[in-house]
A and B are shown apart, each in its own frame.
Chain A
Amino acid sequence: MNAIGVSAEVLRIDAPRETERISEAIRDQVFNRLRRKGAVIGVSGGIDSSVVAFLCARALGNDRVQTLFTPEAESSPDSLRLGRMVAERLNVPSVVEEITPILQGARCYQRRDDAVRLVVPEYGEGFKCKIVLPGILDESRYALFSVVVQARNGECKKVRLTPTAYLGILAASNFKQRTRKMVEYYYADLLQYAVAGTPNRLEYELGFFVKNGDGAADFKPIAHLFKSQVYQLADYLGVPDEIRQRPPTTDTYSLGQSQEEFYFTLPLEKMDLCLYGRDRGIPALDLTQATGLTSEQIERVYAGIDAKRRVAMYLHAAPIGMEQGN
């Protein structure tokens, strides 16, 4: 760290103390404020939902936590396997709800594939796809979404999306997150539990969630934590190694897709520091050493953060009534 610079240490937390603070808050929120008897957690096998499951089990007791796995036809098999690992480690009840039939009923896959065919007409049975953004660091270009399509023979092709195709793929894919939330609330109603949300600070602030999908919850115990802080808690709580080592994935598309290529456009530990810097008005120059980025790159990331926040305003907005002012 140089004299005026910022180091990654600024994101260091006192994990035992933070765990206690969050546990106390969860107990208060679930039992007193929400008056529910426990918590439902959709566990994806990723770091965030695993940490939330560990925190809820610690706060509420393992007999007051219901974990839920919601695989579908395009999920990675790792998600279910790692989710089960969490439930077994915590000794909490778990249930598997296969959501493929619901998604088929909603024509999620068909609508998504029809949208892909607007730009890749040959897309069909046996093909796989994902949508990606270019990295933000190398050039000052606008980051526009492309679809990557893998044919049956393994050949890949990347095509920039038209607005109609992009919105069609997005709207259809969002059925997945909304269906998962619907199933979580089924168990919340059944058990009189509250639904735990699992976004971290990057996701929450920058709008990396589906409105009324994974963005919906009754309480969000890690929404104030940067991604690297979630890892620190995971380490302290004893989240299994394999989950801590797993690269963050969206697990939404049939081709493997990292969160970096789908949304954040740079490694999450660097995005953590940039968001920290942006929130505190830290000049780009002071972040260069900690991030390994140039000032110019950091300025581009700052502009990207501002743009994502503008989009996130709609995602965070509650329904507006006639008597709630302007």
Chain B
Amino acid sequence: MKEREMQRMDRIISEQIRNFIHQNFLFGRGFDLGDSDSFLENSVIDSTGVLELVAFLEETYGITVENEELIPENLDSLENVTAYVSRKVGGAVSVNTMMDLRGQA
């Protein structure tokens, strides 16, 4: 996949995940969630929230989050989740598919 297309895909994933976090965990709270802010340390999500996040990623992107991938490096901030999903979907998902998914997030 071309670099520009990859970057575009990352932006879409990041936006979808940010929307999910805001709608499911922040409820319009005036919390400015930075790309590298830890979800757990900032009390954005708890352990049940991690389950919800994993289910969201699996359903939205058609991936399987393996037990050994359940680590903060993959799941504890917007940029970590985006990078993780991007690696998982790799070249298998086109930007067009991502655009189709956009409305579901």
**A and B: partners?**
yes
| Interface residue ranges, A against B (CB under 8 Å) | 139-145, 160-164, 166-167, 303, 307, 310-311
B24 to chain A, nearest CB (A): 10
A312 to chain B, nearest CB (A): 10
Q: Is the interface of B mostly helix, strand, loop or mixed?
A: helix
Q: Is the CB of A141 within 8 A of B68?
A: yes
Q: Is the CB of A167 within 8 A of B48?
A: yes
In the complex, what distance in Å separates the CA atom of A311 from the CA atom of B40?
11
Contact count A vs B, C-beta below 8 Å: 40
Listed A/B pairs (9) with beta-carbon separation below 8 Å: A141-B68, A142-B50, A142-B72, A142-B75, A144-B47, A144-B51, A144-B70, A145-B51, A311-B46
Chain B residues lying within 8 Å of A166, measured Cβ to Cβ, are: 48, 51
Q: Of A139, A143, A160, A164, which one neighbours B47 at CB under 8 angstroms?
A: A143
Q: Is the CB of A142 within 8 A of B55?
A: no
**For the complex of A and B, 6 pairs with smallest distance between CB atoms:** A163-B51, A142-B70, A163-B52, A141-B70, A142-B50, A311-B46
- Which residues between 55 and 79 of chain B lie within 8 Å of chain A, taking CB atoms? 55, 67-68, 70-72, 75
In the complex, what distance in Å separates the CA atom of A310 from the CA atom of B68?
25
Chain B residues lying within 8 Å of A141, measured Cβ to Cβ, are: 67-68, 70-71
| Interface residue ranges, B against A (CB under 8 Å) | 40, 43, 46-48, 50-52, 54-55, 67-68, 70-72, 75
A131 to chain B, nearest CB (A): 12
Q: Is the CB of A140 within 8 A of B46?
A: no
**Knowing that A140-B71, A310-B43 are A-B contacts, what are 19 other residue pairs whose CB atoms are under 8 Å apart, sorted by A's residue number?**
A139-B71, A141-B67, A141-B70, A142-B47, A142-B50, A144-B50, A144-B51, A144-B54, A144-B70, A145-B51, A160-B67, A162-B51, A162-B55, A163-B52, A164-B55, A167-B48, A307-B40, A311-B46, A311-B47
Chain B residues lying within 8 Å of A144, measured Cβ to Cβ, are: 47, 50-51, 54, 70
A206 to chain B, nearest CB (A): 12
The CB with the most chain A CB atoms within 10 A, among B47, B48, B71, B75, is that of: B47
The CB with the most chain B CB atoms within 10 A, among A163, A164, A166, is that of: A163
A133, closest chain B residue (CB):
B47
Chain A residues lying within 8 Å of B75, measured Cβ to Cβ, are: 142
In the complex, what distance in Å separates the CA atom of A307 from the CA atom of B48?
11
Chain A residues lying within 8 Å of B50, measured Cβ to Cβ, are: 142, 144
A166, closest chain B residue (CB):
B51
Chain A residues lying within 8 Å of B52, measured Cβ to Cβ, are: 163
B49 to chain A, nearest CB (A): 9
Chain A residues lying within 8 Å of B55, measured Cβ to Cβ, are: 162-164
Chain B residues lying within 8 Å of A139, measured Cβ to Cβ, are: 71
